[in-house]
Amino acid sequence: MRILLVEDDELLGEGTRKGLTQDGYTVDWVKDGTLADQALKTEKFDLVVLDLGLPKLPGITVLQNMRERGDTTPVLILTARESIEDRVLGLDSGADDYLTKPFDLHELLARLRALQRRFAGARAAPILVHGEISLDPASHVVLYKNEPINLSRREFALLHVLLENAGRVLSREHLTQSLYGWGEEVDSNALEVHVHNLRKRFGQDFIRTVRGIGYTIEKSKDQK
Ligand code: CA
């Protein structure tokens, strides 16, 4: 799950980024409205946590721009406690939920899970099946030969993106980007390590290396 966090307050932003990362999200954090607007135009996120009081471009404009483009990514807005008008305007502009500051991290995580469930339902058939592997993006459960297995969050994210794109070759850059947020330190062989671990679980042939480009998994027989 990739989240765009838009928050100009350093302390609050850092605390939120940490909490979300520890909970297994891949977090991209930007600190002004213009950068948020640009990021949303060029990248795909699963969720957006959007502060409304932002430098350069107000959060409400970022939200309105998204909805005008037809971008339906779930958005949770952060507002000041005293500002009822902000909350109303935010919800009227297409926000899916809101929290007032200061908020409890556990409440934020619970709200985001609720948003994910709502949207997973709306998207329908979110469970990915590939041979004897099944992955449920909403519950983060992976079954192999009908047994639940534990993957690290990066392994889960890698498996998820590979299954979603079975039959297509994914570049190393694309894969690395879907596993790590911007500005995160990434070891040059980090991707290889995750690929290696997944092969250990599911067999050497499960992920095929496409030399000079990246990786692919074969289209499953159950997939069209
Ligand atoms: Ca702010």
Q: For residues 28 and 60, give the distance between their C-alpha atoms in angstroms, rounded to a whole number.
A: 19
CA of 1 to the centre of ligand 1 (A): 24
Q: Which amino acid is at 78?
A: L
Model confidence at 219: pLDDT above 60: yes
**210, 169 in Cβ contact below 8 A?**
yes
Give residue-wise pLDDT tens across range 35-56: 999 999 999 899 999 999 999 9
DSSP 23: T
pTM of the full predicted structure? 0.65
Q: What whole-number percentage of the chain has pLDDT above 90?
A: 71
- 6 alpha carbon to ligand 1 midpoint, in Å? 9
CA of 29 to the centre of ligand 1 (A): 13
pLDDT tens-digit profile of 101-151? 999 999 999 999 999 888 876 555 468 899 999 998 777 889 999 999 999
pLDDT of residue 125: 47
Give the per-residue pLDDT at 223.
54
Rounded to the nearest whole angstrom, what is the distance from the C-alpha of residue 145 to the centroid of ligand 1?
48
Going by pLDDT thresholds of 50, 70 and 90, the confidence category of residue 220 is confident
CA of 53 to the centre of ligand 1 (A): 4
Sheet holding 128-130, edge to edge: 128-130, 133-136, 141-144, 147-149
Per the prediction, the chain carries an average pLDDT of: 90
128 Cα–ligand 1 center, Å: 38
User: Ligand 1 centre from 42 Cα, in Å?
Assistant: 23
**Closest alpha carbon to 179 in 163, 193, 196, 161:** 161
CA of 33 to the centre of ligand 1 (A): 10
